[in-house]
Amino acid sequence: MKNLELYLILILPPILCAFLFSVTDISLDYLPLSFGLIIGFINWKAHKFKPLLGVLLSVLISYISFFIALFSSFIFGYIREFIMGMTNFVISDTTIRNFSLIITSFIFAPLLVFFFYKYIFYMPKTKLSLIIKITTVIILVLISCIFINIEQMDISNSFFLWQIIMALAVQIIIYQKQLFKSNNI
């Protein structure tokens, strides 16, 4: 019974993120809110603080990561202008936009979420945690490249997958000791 509860806690956040995204027409601006609330409430007992404060901090961290990543995408625009002003390099606006999107949304934002969530949740610092973080970022980058290169696909689908993958990664990191103890790994 304990294993079933653990598996439910692991898969419920990605399922809720997918359900919320597919059932509602949620704006990109509210994705950090839904992600923070889902992670915060599902991990009610895993907070370092009082649970309600932990949920609020989860939402805050989600928005902080979102806005830092968004702000850093503007920095890429200035870097592009600087590079193009200093050299004869011609880089298309689409290439810079895509590169900026991949770096900020699919590398920088996940790393910020992992970094900040360790202050809210009991997240063991293990080799497995590092492997999960690296694997998650690689998967997110690959998915973003696929969605960006297939012009018929809506880029918001990659953010939909971002939430599902990140939710699962956060859950596995938080509950890795219980997960591998229960499976005798």
* Separation between Cα atoms, residue 32 and residue 29, nearest integer Å: 7
Reply yes or no on whether the pLDDT at 85 is more than 80.
no
The token duo for 170 is: 């956060």
Count Cα atoms within 13 angstroms, Cβ side, for 58.
27
Domain range list for the chain? 2-180
Write down the pTM of the prediction. 0.87
**How many residues belong to the chain?**
185
Predicted confidence band at 95 (pLDDT cuts at 50, 70, 90)?
confident
C-alpha pair distances (Å), 148 with each of 94, 132, 140, 141: 10, 24, 12, 10
The token duo for 28 is: 């990109």
The token duo for 76 is: 């890429």
Using CB atoms within 10 A of its CB, is residue 170 exposed (0-12), middle (13-18) or buried (19+)? buried
Per-residue pLDDT of 7-22, as tens digits, reads 999 999 999 999 998 8
Predicted confidence band at 3 (pLDDT cuts at 50, 70, 90)?
confident
